[in-house]
Amino acid sequence: MTRASAIDGASSYFDTGRFASDLGDLVSFETESQTPSKAAELSRYLKEAMVPRLRAMGFDCEIHQNPEADAGPLLVAQRLENEHRPTILSYGHGDVIRAQTDQWRDGLHPFRLVDEGDRLYGRGSADNKGQHLINMAALRAVLDARGALGFNCRILIEMGEEMGSPGLAAFCEAQKDALAADVLIASDGPRLQPDTPTMFMGARGGVSFDLVVDLRDGAHHSGNWGGLLADPAMILVQALSTITDARGQIRVPEWRPTSLTDDIRRALRDLPIEGESGPPIDEDWGEEDLTPAERVYGWNSFAILAMTSGVPDAPVNAISARARASCQLRYVVGTDQADIVPALRRHLDAHGFQAVRIVPHTRGFFDATRLPPDHPWVKFVARSLEETAGKTPHILPNLAGSLPNEVFSGILGLPTVWVPHSYRGCSQHAPNEHVLKSVSRDALRLMTGLFWDIGESAGPH
Ligand SMILES: [Zn+2]
């Protein structure tokens, strides 16, 4: 058997309708992790949809309780062939975001796979059921062709990613040995462009916090007290105006990255930023000297997610007592996570804004991760994808959004290579979520070629 025949096997898995029918089965599990009444579906997905599939491929499977109470279970599956061959860890999440059932268009339903033109609609089709199904089917195509993978494989499936992966870090810390590997190869998120394979090796981090100016009890008449009482909204917006300038360029010195090195700039040079979906970008927004790709993948961005003072929909003639802005910093490798809030404190104090309190959010902390574009595993995966696709993949040092990738790169100490199988117009986290059939078929072939190559040469040397 050859590389080409393994890849043909993956194509025929798609072409004979087995991919769509397997995906339909996975989508029919109503695995909303944010809906407490669906908790039983989370373990049912692992027991009924994952374990039989993986056992049939010679994997030992164990379902573990989440170390955090009320969070979904985790599955660790492994197929160990030979201790002298490399071990690949893969990851996926079987939970989905809220279904939003009444918002899907006529003829669609979140938990019924609908086949229409080049699209397969269903909740989780893109995020993430379709993606881990593709990787498992590719492993099976290699097993069918070769009789063995040629490497050891571990697969971790969690059921709480859409809740911010509760317990994942503690679980990986406790299961370090059971999850030991040479590299993480996993799939989530979109390709930059649907017709070109994409790789990314980490994610930007994110820190969220409120800025609060709370001056007194209750609002006071603006005629009797205006000019006498300090206005919390004015103080807050003045403080915010010191964090960036008028085009959003960051002014807090410690928040300005030093990691946009020449090799990262080179990696970002030819990447397309604007796709067929989404609003046109504002060329005159953000860091002036950077290209759009450098702004979103190689730099930090500050956002004011929401802000209030008084009641905007029903204003009264009063100086309000309190103003609040909910803020976020997305940041790249090289920004010290532990110093993000203290640096802002020093900055606000230096500008005379001692009255502005910083209240960090308890959820929503991810650390930034990245792998150099010339890492041997990056080059190995890129070469394999290129051989199958006949074109150079788009390679991102890190995703602009966030992923629980620090668990794999930090706690497990792995190089991490992500190969996403969706596209930016997939309506992930919205009604009418779907995958493109053309991309899914292509992804099955790419991953089969990649797993074949790892088994053939035992990875990079
Ligand atoms: Zn998601």
- State the distance from the centre of ligand 1 to the C-alpha of 96, rounded, in angstroms: 7
- State the distance from the centre of ligand 1 to the C-alpha of 129, rounded, in angstroms: 10
Q: Which of 230, 190, 189, 194 is nearest to 213 (CA)?
A: 230
Q: Output the pLDDT for position 276.
A: 61
Q: What is the mean pLDDT of residues 349-366?
A: 89
pLDDT tens digits, one per residue of 86-125: 999 999 999 999 999 999 999 999 999 999 999 999 999 9
- State the distance from the centre of ligand 1 to the C-alpha of 411, rounded, in angstroms: 22
- State the distance from the centre of ligand 1 to the C-alpha of 159, rounded, in angstroms: 11
Look at the pTM and tell me if it is higher than 0.85.
Answer: yes
- State the distance from the centre of ligand 1 to the C-alpha of 257, rounded, in angstroms: 27
Q: Output the pLDDT for position 159.
A: 97
Q: What is the mean pLDDT of the chain?
A: 94
Q: Output the pLDDT for position 402.
A: 78
pLDDT tens digits, one per residue of 146-160: 999 999 999 999 999
Q: Output the pLDDT for position 362.
A: 78
Q: Output the pLDDT for position 394.
A: 94
Instruction: Tell me how crowded residue 266 is: count the other CB atoms within 10 A of its CB.
Output: 11
- State the distance from the centre of ligand 1 to the C-alpha of 21, rounded, in angstroms: 22
Rounded to whole angstroms, the Cα distance separating 174 from 180 reads 12
Q: How would DSSP label each residue in 92-137?
A: EE--B----GGGSPTT-BTTB-EEETTEEE-TTTTTTHHHHHHHHH
Q: Output the pLDDT for position 277.
A: 66
- State the distance from the centre of ligand 1 to the C-alpha of 134, rounded, in angstroms: 17
Q: Residue 435: beta bridge partners?
A: 120
Q: Using DSSP, how many helices (H) and how many strands (E) does the chain show?
A: 14, 19
| Strands of 275-425, DSSP E | 301-309, 318-319, 322-331, 357-360, 394-396, 416-418, 422-423
Q: What is the mean pLDDT of residues 330-340?
A: 94
Amino acid at 188: D
- State the distance from the centre of ligand 1 to the C-alpha of 444, rounded, in angstroms: 21
- State the distance from the centre of ligand 1 to the C-alpha of 403, rounded, in angstroms: 9
Q: How far is CA 314 from the centre of its chain?
A: 38
Q: Output the pLDDT for position 403.
A: 81
Q: What is the mean pLDDT of residues 336-352?
A: 97
Residue 269 has pLDDT above 70, yes or no: yes
User: Are 341 and 207 a contacting pair, CB within 8 Å?
Assistant: yes
Q: Output the pLDDT for position 363.
A: 67
pLDDT tens digits, one per residue of 174-185: 999 999 999 999
Poorest-pLDDT segment among 71-80, 259-268, 318-327, 387-396 = 259-268
- State the distance from the centre of ligand 1 to the C-alpha of 126, rounded, in angstroms: 9
